[in-house]
Amino acid sequence: MIRTFVLASLLALGTLPAGATLLSTLLLPGGSLSNGLLTVDSFEFTRTCGGIGVCAPLDASGIDVTLVNNQIRFAGGFTALSNGGFASADFLVAYHLNSTLAIGGVGLLFNGAVVGDQSFAEVIESIIAPIAHLAGQGQVDAPGGPLADAIILDGAYHNLKIVKDIFLVGSDSEGLGYATISLIDQFYVGVGVNPLCVEGVDCEPAVPEPATYGMMAAGLIGLYFTKRRS
């Protein structure tokens, strides 16, 4: 099963199609994305800026959302920039996820980058199950922290609320300091038929143990960065 999952993942994680939906559109009543495996809806968005400098994007129209197979991508020029001072940018993105498969593991990764001795970028992801139960949490950081995190949930769920806290600080004691994030990717591992099945790949049903979720998520993260480097 793991070999099948990795083969399918390698095919699917290359480059997501250019067709994306603006987050501002998804915030409208009825805004949703669906591909037969996953449905994503009930989007929420807030933007909070501090300090003096650049805080971007200006609104939800500067963020693209793409859903392909079991992967969701948020693309936008998330930026906090200040020249000799301090600037912060804090974005909260939330949405509901409904899956035909029971989800037991989540992978989170981003391409945060910083310049400045006090600059940083991070994404904290909270995965909330029905009845406001925290099923799992992960975090990615730059600089120094992991760019990817594999989150094993405390159970298998068909319905989840995802909350992303995207926080950037641009600050340097002597000059230009900035933090940027252009891509935040999330993928899901579920019980049953592999959600990354593609034509020509045999996808067998399986019921992974919790440790297997972690192996799958870690393998997908490795494949993702290998594809990006190539």
Mean pLDDT score, 190-203? 47
CA distances from 165 to 3, 92, 184 (A): 33, 5, 11
CA distance 100 to 106: 15
CA distance 2 to 105: 14
The reported pLDDT for the residue numbered 63 is 95
pTM for this prediction: 0.79
Mean pLDDT score, 76-101? 92
Tens-place pLDDT, residues 127-179? 999 888 999 999 999 998 888 888 888 888 999 999 999 999 999 888 899 99
Nearest to 64, CA basis, from 195, 167, 184, 196: 184
Mean pLDDT score, 21-43? 93
The reported pLDDT for the residue numbered 198 is 39
SS3 213: helix
Highest-confidence segment of 64-78, 183-197, 201-215: 64-78
CA distance 66 to 74: 7
In total, the chain counts a number of residues equal to 230
166 token code pair: 């995207």
Residue with the bigger pLDDT between 195 and 149: it is 149
94-125: b (≥16 Cβ within 10 Å) or e: bbbbebebebbbbbbbbbbebebeebbbbbbb
Residue with the bigger pLDDT between 230 and 65: it is 65
Contacts of 94 (CB under 8 A, 6+ apart): 42, 43, 44, 45, 161, 162, 163, 164
The residues that bridge with 159 in the sheet, in sequence order, are 98
Q: Is the pLDDT of residue 227 over 60?
A: no
> Do the beta carbons of residue 12 and residue 196 sit within 8 Å?
yes
